[in-house]
Amino acid sequence: MYATVSVALLVCMALALVRAIVGPTVFDRILAVNTFGTLTVILICVYNFLSGRPEFLDIALVYALINFIGTLAVAKYVRDAHFRDADDLDTRGDI
């Protein structure tokens, strides 16, 4: 059962990685990297149940927090850069 779940998670992680590389927009890539991180957290939790070692849950929680904060930071940076570019076009009179 756990082996099947692990294989399914690895397949989903591979698909998310492909989407992160091929994604047509930056936001698709951000979402794919966030999905990859979330699937990694789930895979760590599955390994925790397989091995019976509770310290892996702490690692999964820390990784989930880093994934969440990193995704927010990158999304905010990309959004601000997009608005900055639009403001530059507006001040030049191109719009």
Q: Does 90 score more than 70 pLDDT?
A: no
Largest Cα–Cα distance of the chain, in whole Å? 63
| Residue 52 banded pLDDT, cuts 50, 70, 90 | confident
Distance CA 78, CA 6 (A): 33
Q: Does 67 score more than 80 pLDDT?
A: yes
Tell me which of 37 and 89 has the higher pLDDT.
Answer: 37
What share of the chain has pLDDT > 90, as a percent? 60
6 alpha carbon, distance to own chain's centre: 18
Q: Which residues contact 32 (CB under 8 A, 6 or more apart)?
A: 16, 17, 19, 20, 23
**Global model pTM greater than 0.75:** yes
| Residue 12 banded pLDDT, cuts 50, 70, 90 | very high
How distant, in Å, are the alpha carbons of 1, 19, 67, 91 from that of 77? 41, 20, 15, 21
